[in-house]
Amino acid sequence: METLSTARSFEGIQGVYRHRSEACQCDMTFAVFLPPQAKDGPVPLLWYLSGLTCTHQNVMDKGEYRRAAAEHGVAIICPDTSPRGENVPDEKDNWQFGSGAGFYLDATQAPWSTNYRMASYIGEELPALVTANFPVDMQRQGIFGHSMGGHGAITQALKHKGRFKSVSAFAPIARPMVAGWSRPAFEKYLGPDEAEWRAYDSVALIEDGARVAELLVDQGKADGFLDDGLRPWLLEDACAKAGIPLTLNMRDGYDHSYFFISTFMADHIAWHAKRVKG
């Protein structure tokens, strides 16, 4: 693992790191914020998964998470959204597929299956690397994310039963199997058999028996992707039928941007901290 940069912030350390990923068969970059409490021993951690077109950098620059993380004594891990590099296949004119659009799944179709294995990277490889190199307590972890990353956070929590003590999302893609901006990507990554897609769809996973203890979602009512891409009411209905407590906050006037995310970031971190520390 290579350290690309470190900076002091709110008495903690914001770092950016790079390593060779076996899952993705390329170099991967991620960010870690360690709160000041990490100097005294392992701290709880939250995984933040970013959305389409993003890297770890977007939330570092715009997410405004460090003050709240330092106050609550939790580390924040920000992975990239997809594999990258000259030898990684891509569709450069398609922002909804390829680089920046890994959808947190393990592709099964060539040529994508060699590199696009973000489910394994987030679920197995990166946690092992983080555990080996940072003072974090993997028994006290939560996960959250935005848009495609909200989809990734919820599906990771549903697929890894009991691993995460908390899960939340900002404007998640609730039903990517049928959403306009994710369905084409699923077909390219996973092939035409929609039964294979269900493992990466929050609503389908809940329908198929996966559960989390509770769920927090914030969604802007002025989000331009609300009706076609996000549709939180589908997640609300699935949670109601499954008996999963869901807090769905529909926020007047807020869109899909980091202005929205940063407004409610501290609320989410406080919500997670209560659960991962409790």
| Token pair 């990490």: residue | 38
Beta bridge partners of 28: 19
State the amino acid at position 154 in one-letter form: I
In whole angstroms, what is the distance from residue 11 CA to residue 212 CA? 34
Active-site position among 146, 256, 268, 272: 256
In the residue annotation, 256 being an active-site residue is answered as yes
Residue 50 known to be catalytic: no
- Take residue 221 and report the two structure tokens written for it: 């009512």
Spot the catalytic one: 50, 82, 99, 147.
147
Q: Are 167 and 143 in contact (CB under 8 A)?
A: yes
Of 95, 96, 100, residue with least CA distance to 84:
100
239-258 in b/e form (b: 16+ CB < 10 A) is beebebebeeeebeebbbeb
- Residue 178, exposed/middle/buried by CB under 10 A (0-12, 13-18, 19+)? middle
* Catalytic-role residue among 82, 223, 268, 272: 223
Our answer to whether residue 72 is catalytic in this structure is no
Residues annotated as catalytic (active site), given as ranges: 147, 223, 256
